[in-house]
């Protein structure tokens, strides 16, 4: 028969076991791998938790972090090579970040793709991200442009629907750009902060646009007005908030490698691709004649 002291020890061990089991459900784990293992950092430091882990085989894992914001500092030697800020990861969330790459201009680190367990969306360095399964097969959404490729053949788009991640939109060959009245519009006037309606289909994490409805302001080429969702100049166009979320932090300008998915051309108002058709040729001859 067990004495009182032994019973108390058993009870205490049981309570500790229950606390450990319950604690795991309240914690967050973050795993990541790097696009280029040769240039990967040697350490990843979790700032809020004051912990660090080694990068082995181009990957790392941080376990038992507290729920909430998590700032990861990538370290190589004595230098910080990049910053990865996760906004408010919920308790019990498991985050996997694939293909991490540092943008040299901003110093921000972005994944090519994410996997989330216990969370639908996660804001990574100001960009609303989710797994590809969160992108509808057929997209028809209103929202704002966060960033643009120079050739206007791809852009990062934040839907008004806060349940959707920010979308990497590719302008497909057959895409049309129109005004709200259905008249042809010129994508060359599209700017950050513009309101756009995107209709298209999902394709391997991207949205191939079939029809873009530009706001009347954008269609007329007026100067863009500041918006609550407008991102800074370095907002990303490739590796993918409610109005209460803060503006996006600086992120890379790298355009997605999407030409193998859907070669893109920028449409002019007459429906032809830029650089083709008689309009450009006539303009060139006229200018020469005047000279």
pLDDT digits (tens, 9 = 90+) for 106-123: 899 999 999 999 999 999
**Percent of residues, the chain, with pLDDT higher than 70:** 66
Q: Is the pLDDT of residue 272 over 50?
A: no
Give residue-wise pLDDT tens across range 144-185. 999 999 888 999 999 999 999 999 999 978 899 999 999 999
Look up residue 51 and give its two tokens. 């912990």
Note whether 119 and 129 are within 8 A (CB).
Answer: no
Note whether 164 and 141 are within 8 A (CB).
Answer: yes
Architecture of domain 26-125: Sandwich (2.60)
Q: Where in the chain is the domain with CATH 2.60.40?
A: 26-125
The neighbouring-strand residues paired with 59 are: 33, 56
Q: Is the pLDDT of residue 63 over 50?
A: yes
Confidence class of residue 79 from pLDDT cuts 50, 70 and 90?
very high
For residue 3, the model assigns a pLDDT of 59
For residue 74, the model assigns a pLDDT of 97
Q: Where in the chain is the domain with CATH 2.40.50.320?
A: 136-271
For residue 223, the model assigns a pLDDT of 46
Average pLDDT for 185-200:
93
Closest to 178 in 3D by CA, of 167, 191, 169, 189: 189
Select 136-271's CATH number: 2.40.50.320, 3.30.460.80, 3.90.1560.10, 1.20.1250.20.
2.40.50.320
The single-letter DSSP state of residue 49 is T
Note whether 120 and 134 are within 8 A (CB).
Answer: yes
Confidence class of residue 283 from pLDDT cuts 50, 70 and 90?
very low
């Amino acid at each position: 028969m067990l004495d009182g002291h032994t019973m108390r020890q058993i009870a205490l061990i049981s309570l500790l076991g229950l606390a450990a089991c319950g604690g795991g459900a309240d914690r967050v784990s973050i795993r990541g791998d790097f696009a280029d293992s040769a240039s990967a950092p040697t350490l990843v430091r979790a700032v809020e938790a004051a912990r660090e882990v080694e990068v082995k085989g181009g990957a790392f894992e941080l376990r038992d972090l507290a729920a909430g914001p998590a700032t990861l500092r990538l370290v190589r030697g004595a230098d910080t090579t990049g910053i990865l800020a996760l906004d408010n990861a919920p308790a019990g969330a498991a985050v996997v970040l694939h293909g991490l790459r540092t943008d040299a201009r901003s110093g921000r680190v972005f994944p090519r793709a994410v996997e989330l367990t216990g969370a639908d969306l996660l804001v990574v360095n100001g960009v609303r991200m989710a797994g590809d399964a969160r992108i509808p097969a057929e997209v028809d959404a209103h929202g704002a442009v966060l960033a643009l490729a120079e050739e206007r053949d791809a852009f990062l788009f934040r839907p008004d629907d806060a349940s959707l991640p920010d979308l990497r939109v590719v302008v497909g060959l057959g895409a049309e750009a129109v005004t709200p009245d259905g008249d042809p519009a010129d994508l060359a006037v599209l700017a950050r902060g513009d309101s756009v309606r995107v209709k298209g289909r999902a394709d391997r994490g991207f949205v191939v646009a079939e029809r873009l409805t530009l706001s009347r302001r954008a269609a007329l080429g007026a100067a863009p007005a500041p918006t609550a969702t407008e991102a800074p100049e370095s907002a990303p166009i490739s590796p993918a908030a409610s109005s209460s979320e803060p503006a996006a932090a600086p992120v890379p300008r790298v355009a997605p490698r999407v030409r193998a998915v859907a070669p893109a051309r920028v449409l002019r108002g007459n429906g032809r691709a830029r650089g083709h058709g008689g309009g450009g040729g006539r303009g060139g001859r006229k200018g020469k004649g005047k000279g």
